[in-house]
Amino acid sequence: MPDATILGIESSCDETGAAVVRSGQQILSNVVASQISTHSPYGGVVPELASREHLRAIVPVVRQALAEAGQTYQSVDAIAVTQGPGLAGALLVGISFAKALSFALEKPLIAVNHLEGHVHAVLLEQRQTGEIELEFPVLALVVSGGHTHLYLAQAEENLWSYTNIGHTRDDAAGEAFDKVAKLLALGYPGGPIIDRLAPHGDPNTVKFQIAQIKHPDRRDRAKSNVRSGHGSGVEDSAPRFDFSYSGIKTAVLRYVETEQMGAGIETRRRALAETVHSGHQPILDDYLRLCDRRTLNLVASFQRAMINDLVTKTLAAAREYDAGMLFVSGGVAANHELRGTFQREAEMQGLPVLFPSRKLSTDNAAMIAAAAFPKFLRREFVEMDFSAEAGMALA
């Protein structure tokens, strides 16, 4: 197989990433500039600020990625960039820079779907160890702040194809983590904080019911009309495994109101703001000091309900579609309880499950450079007139 060194650029949300990856498997560098401190006072990503921060970071981040990889602008074989989905203004920063580089250096340009990037984050490390044979179809759960998607993936001769068999009808799983954390004044992003607090509470105290969706999604019907003849091998009438997480957020709000937890939340909000104001990032002990038992139990119960739903639906989909193996990626795949539960339950079902390392679970550019490699081999390059696709679908 020919060798290729690809410079990947990622700017779809709130991380500016650049990485150099050789032949889809060897990470020479992987630089991520996070914007957490910019967005955290607002409790979520502010699109205008994200674009501005990407503009600030893109040149130094790319330079650092090349330097750490011992490469130069001239020595890389191709430039890969995230086309979508994501925030339009944020995507445009990465795309404009990638286009300028490609034009000036006369290097081929490869457009990558961010979701395919998350799938390839698993493959990247799997190829490194070379220990596990891929068993198709692969069922890939991409679970992040913007997405909760289930794809059946097939690969033939470097051509990867995906069929969506499930997605969220409302909030993504990571969004639910972030919104619940915001509601409880636990800071932003909420996923990592809830992950660390949950083991300190009892997950069986609050019983949350997560919506089980029975009716078809009208948006899918419209899309399947466009898609027919797509050759995915999955019938349009095939069973779907959709998710819904806006209800649990409301249930947490109701619980907080009924249990009159408002005053405690306000005290925590002020105390954490003071810590940040005095120039310190709160650590786990600060959170534990500021959370009573009821709050810790609520956090643990929320996380348990989310994970049970994600794992149960994904494993049901794996049985239905006779998946050969399972990939779990995206920011929420960094969650300790999620990993442990998937490993345990999938093993009982005899299904191998693979995760990226934590660093490659959340947004990064190494996964973009890795997903670009099969496209490089197929010479799937884009012209200068391609543009950002904020709502880009993978299948």
117 binds, among Zn ion, ligand KG4, none (CB under 5 to 8 A by kind): none
> Which part of the chain contacts ligand KG4 (CB under 6 A), choosing from 18-26, 282-290, 326-334, 367-375?
326-334
> Which part of the chain contacts ligand KG4 (CB under 6 A), choosing from 99-107, 152-160, 186-194, 381-389?
186-194
Closest CB to ligand KG4 among residues 101, 172: 172
Q: Which structure tokens are listed for 134?
A: 């891929």
178 binds, among ligand KG4, Zn ion, none (CB under 5 to 8 A by kind): ligand KG4
For residue 144, state whether it binds Zn ion (rule: CB under 5 A). Answer: yes
Cβ 319 vs Cβ 132: under 8 Å: no
For residue 83, state whether it binds Zn ion (rule: CB under 5 A). Answer: no
Residues contacting 365, CB < 8 A, separation 6+: 8, 9, 10, 17, 18, 19, 30, 31, 32, 65
Closest CB to Zn ion among residues 144, 335: 144
Q: How far apart are the C-alpha atoms of 157 and 334, rounded to whole Å?
A: 31
- Binding residue count for Zn ion, defined by CB under 5 A: 2
Q: How far apart are the C-alpha atoms of 76 and 7, rounded to whole Å?
A: 7
Closest CB to ligand KG4 among residues 17, 137: 17
For residue 178, state whether it binds ligand KG4 (rule: CB under 6 A). Answer: yes
Interactions with ligand KG4, residue window 358-377 (CB under 6 A): 362-363
Instruction: Tell me how crowded residue 108 is: count the other CB atoms within 10 A of its CB.
Output: 19
Closest CB to ligand KG4 among residues 137, 145: 145
Find the binder of ligand KG4 among 17, 189, 264, 374 (CB under 6 A).
189
Closest CB to Zn ion among residues 90, 252: 90
89 binds, among ligand KG4, Zn ion, none (CB under 5 to 8 A by kind): none
189 binds, among ligand KG4, Zn ion, none (CB under 5 to 8 A by kind): ligand KG4
* Alpha carbon separation from 349 to 113, 129, 133, 346 (Å, rounded): 31, 24, 18, 5
Closest CA relative to residue 173, chosen from 198, 148, 151: 148
Closest CB to Zn ion among residues 83, 144: 144
Closest CB to ligand KG4 among residues 178, 242: 178
* C-alpha torsion sign, points 125, 76, 372, 49: positive
Interactions with Zn ion, residue window 345-384 (CB under 5 A): 363
* Min CB(55)–ligand KG4 separation in Å: 19
Instruction: Please tell me what DSSP assigns to residue 168.
Output: B
* Min CB(133)–ligand KG4 separation in Å: 27
Interactions with ligand KG4, residue window 221-280 (CB under 6 A): none
Q: For 273, phi and psi rounded to 5 degrees? A: -65, -40
Q: How far apart are the C-alpha atoms of 189 and 37, rounded to whole Å?
A: 10
For residue 19, state whether it binds ligand KG4 (rule: CB under 6 A). Answer: no
Find the binder of ligand KG4 among 137, 145, 187, 374 (CB under 6 A).
145
Closest CB to ligand KG4 among residues 43, 108: 43
Closest CB to ligand KG4 among residues 299, 334: 334
Cβ 391 vs Cβ 118: under 8 Å: no
Sheet of strand 353-354: strand arrangement: 159-167, 148-156, 138-143, 325-329, 353-354
For residue 125, state whether it binds ligand KG4 (rule: CB under 6 A). Answer: no
Per DSSP, the three-state class of 371 is: helix
Element (H, E) at 163: strand 159-167
Q: At what angle do helices 114-129 and 366-377 cross, to 10 degrees?
A: 90
Note the Cα 137 to chain centre separation in Å.
Answer: 21
Interface contacts to ligand KG4, rule CB under 6 A: 13, 144-146, 174, 177-178, 189-192, 195, 330-332, 334-335, 362-363
Interface contacts to Zn ion, rule CB under 5 A: 144, 363
